[in-house]
Amino acid sequence: MSPAHVHDSQVFEVLLDAHPPKGHEVSADSAYRLKERLSGLRKKGFKPRITYKAKRGQPLRSRQIALNHSYSKVRCRVAHVFGAMRNDRKARSMTCLGLNRSRVWIGLGNLCYTIKRLRSLQRAAVAL
């Protein structure tokens, strides 16, 4: 977790250094697709799964489109959680100050989402 004035790309490497790299995949959108970043990820043992972005006058090749599609299957599962947090909890702004209080606020919100999702999955299992 970082303060709001720090952009995600500035702490990208710091977050990765905190996790063991052996065979882990790194999913990100096309804003993170830099040659230096990709080679750095590979050197650390990560498998980069960063989407491709078309450039003006250079449409994506069919292989890149297929890779983007496969990467999006993983990323959409994460995006669903953030979307639910935004819609259900009005998470547009926090009403607390400080990183520690923010961590607790987000952690409790994640716990609520997990319980809500568990209930939904249990109802779906009973319906089968």
* Per-residue pLDDT, 68: 93
* Per-residue pLDDT, 90: 61
Read off the pLDDT of residues 67-104 as tens digits, 9 standing for 90 and up. Answer: 999 998 888 888 888 788 777 766 566 777 788 888 88
* Per-residue pLDDT, 128: 78
| Same domain as 66, residue 25 | yes
Distance separating alpha carbons of residues 124 and 128, to the nearest angstrom: 7
* Per-residue pLDDT, 1: 67
Is the pTM higher than 0.75? The answer reads no
| Same domain as 104, residue 83 | no
* Per-residue pLDDT, 44: 84
| Same domain as 64, residue 17 | yes
Q: Which residues pair with 69 in a beta bridge?
A: none
| Same domain as 54, residue 40 | yes
- Structural domain span for residue 83: 8-92
| Same domain as 78, residue 108 | no
Q: How many domains does the chain have?
A: 2
| Same domain as 101, residue 87 | no
Does residue 55 or residue 11 have the better pLDDT?
55
Distance separating alpha carbons of residues 86 and 84, to the nearest angstrom: 5
87 domain residue, yes or no? yes
| Same domain as 127, residue 105 | yes
pLDDT class of 66 with cuts at 50, 70, 90: very high
Read off the pLDDT of residues 12-37 as tens digits, 9 standing for 90 and up. Answer: 878 777 776 667 888 888 888 889 88
| Same domain as 127, residue 114 | yes
What is the torsional sign of CA 31, 67, 12, 78?
positive
| Helix/strand/coil (H/E/C) assignment for every residue in 13-52 | HHHHHCCCCCCCEEEECHHHCCHHHHHHHHHCCCEEEECC
Measured in whole angstroms, the distance separating CA 111 from the mean position of its chain's CA atoms is 18
